[in-house]
């Protein structure tokens, strides 16, 4: 589960190393957490030496790995070691974005069909 003010690592090639969750899209006042496949707003906290992104910039991202266990329809539980996100560009141009890990198939079912093709594998 990702809460507001949670620090999350990046898995794409944008140059972002670490981000902080600022807002969770689509939540009411009662739900204050996000799970796998939810859209969040992040603030960049640490970046590599690149001029593509600047520190303290806000981006929209999708949670692709969560340390909180999630259950699939076949009653298997999966859990990742760290919380990770995949940043979504503002111009919706996903051709230049590459994920450096395998993505879970729940991302495909949550209306992010383009992002699964950017990864090496889907499990």
SS3 percent helix, strand, coil of the chain, rounded to 5, is 5, 40, 55
Collapsed DSSP state (helix, strand, coil) of residue 61: strand
What pLDDT digit, counting tens, does each position of 41-92 carry? 999 888 887 666 666 678 888 888 888 888 887 888 888 889 988 888 766 5
Query: What is the second-level CATH architecture of the domain 2-93?
Result: Beta Barrel (2.40)
Model's pTM, two decimal places? Answer: 0.76
* Dist. CA 88–CA 107, nearest whole Å: 13
Domain boundaries, the chain: 2-93
Collapsed DSSP state (helix, strand, coil) of residue 98: coil
Cα–Cα distances in angstroms (integers) from residue 84 to residues 6, 73, 80, 90, in the given order: 11, 23, 9, 19
What pLDDT digit, counting tens, does each position of 17-48 carry? 899 999 988 866 666 788 887 888 999 888 88
pLDDT of 13 reads: 78
């Amino acid at each position: 589960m990702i809460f507001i003010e949670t620090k999350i690592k990046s898995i794409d090639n944008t140059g972002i190393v670490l981000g902080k969750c600022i807002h969770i899209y689509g939540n009411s006042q009662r739900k204050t957490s996000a799970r796998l496949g939810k859209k969040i707003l992040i603030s960049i906290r640490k970046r590599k030496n690149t001029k593509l992104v600047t520190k303290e910039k806000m981006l929209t991202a999708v949670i692709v790995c969560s340390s909180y266990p999630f259950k699939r329809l076949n009653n298997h539980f999966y859990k990742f070691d760290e919380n990770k996100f995949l940043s979504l560009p503002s111009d919706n141009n996903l051709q230049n974005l590459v994920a450096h890990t395998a993505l879970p198939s729940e991302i495909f079912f949550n209306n992010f069909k383009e992002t699964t093709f950017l990864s090496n594998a889907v499990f």
